[in-house]
């Protein structure tokens, strides 16, 4: 089995990536062609697919953040591999490829959040032997008045 990693550059592959995330995260996402094109044209959004025999089996979506300090970071918004292809090194390969892109962009830090009770995700990130930071995550509602 040979895995090819490549940047997602067309709406057809981006829709397939969204479908992979839907399977992995057990949700249903419907995005318009217009929204898919906006994502593809946005340099700060980096989508990468993992392909086996030209079939997309996993991927990662990361966003480049420019900090006030002048540094840049990648935030992994989604990473997922279809269940039948998990535990084969594809997720680790996606991280390695994202690190290559980070170096090209002058990014020194990549960060990702995992829900504490998502044992699979936590175990995956711990297997990378990277720094683990305990934080509290807060979602602020735009519609809520203070």
Residue 74 near residue 98 (C-beta atoms within 8 A): yes
Which pLDDT does position 138 carry in this prediction? 92
CA 29 to chain centre: 16
Prediction pTM value: 0.93
Residue 25 near residue 80 (C-beta atoms within 8 A): yes
> Would you say residue 48 has pLDDT above 90?
yes
- What lies within 8 Å, CB to CB, of 76 at 6+ separation is 60, 61, 62, 98, 110, 111, 112
Domain boundaries, the chain: 3-127
Q: How confident is the model at residue 43 (pLDDT cuts 50, 70, 90)?
A: very high
Assigned CATH for 3-127 = 3.40.630.30
Phi, psi of 56 (to 5 degrees): -75, 120
> Would you say residue 142 has pLDDT above 90?
yes
> Would you say residue 122 has pLDDT above 90?
yes
Residue 23 near residue 14 (C-beta atoms within 8 A): no
Q: How confident is the model at residue 143 (pLDDT cuts 50, 70, 90)?
A: very high
Question: What does the CA dihedral 23, 24, 26, 27 come to, rounded to 10 degrees?
Answer: -70
Reported as type and span, the H/E element at residue 105 is helix 90-105
Which pLDDT does position 146 carry in this prediction? 80
Mean pLDDT of the chain: 95
> Would you say residue 145 has pLDDT above 90?
no
Percent with pLDDT over 90 in the chain: 95
Which pLDDT does position 65 carry in this prediction? 97
């Amino acid at each position: 089995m040979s895995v090819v990693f490549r940047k997602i550059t067309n709406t057809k592959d981006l829709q397939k990536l969204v479908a992979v995330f839907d399977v992995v995260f057990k949700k249903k996402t419907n995005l318009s062609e217009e929204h898919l094109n906006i994502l593809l044209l946005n340099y700060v959004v980096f989508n990468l697919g993992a392909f086996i025999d030209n079939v997309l089996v996993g991927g990662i979506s990361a966003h480049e953040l420019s900090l006030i300090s002048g540094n840049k970071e990648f935030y992994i918004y989604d990473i997922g591999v279809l269940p039948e292809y998990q535990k084969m090194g594809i997720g680790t390969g996606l991280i390695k490829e994202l690190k290559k892109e980070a170096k090209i962009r002058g990014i020194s830090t990549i960060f990702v959040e995992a829900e504490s009770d998502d044992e699979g995700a936590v175990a995956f990130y711990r297997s990378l032997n990277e720094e683990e930071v305990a934080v509290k995550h807060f979602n602020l509602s735009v519609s809520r008045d203070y």
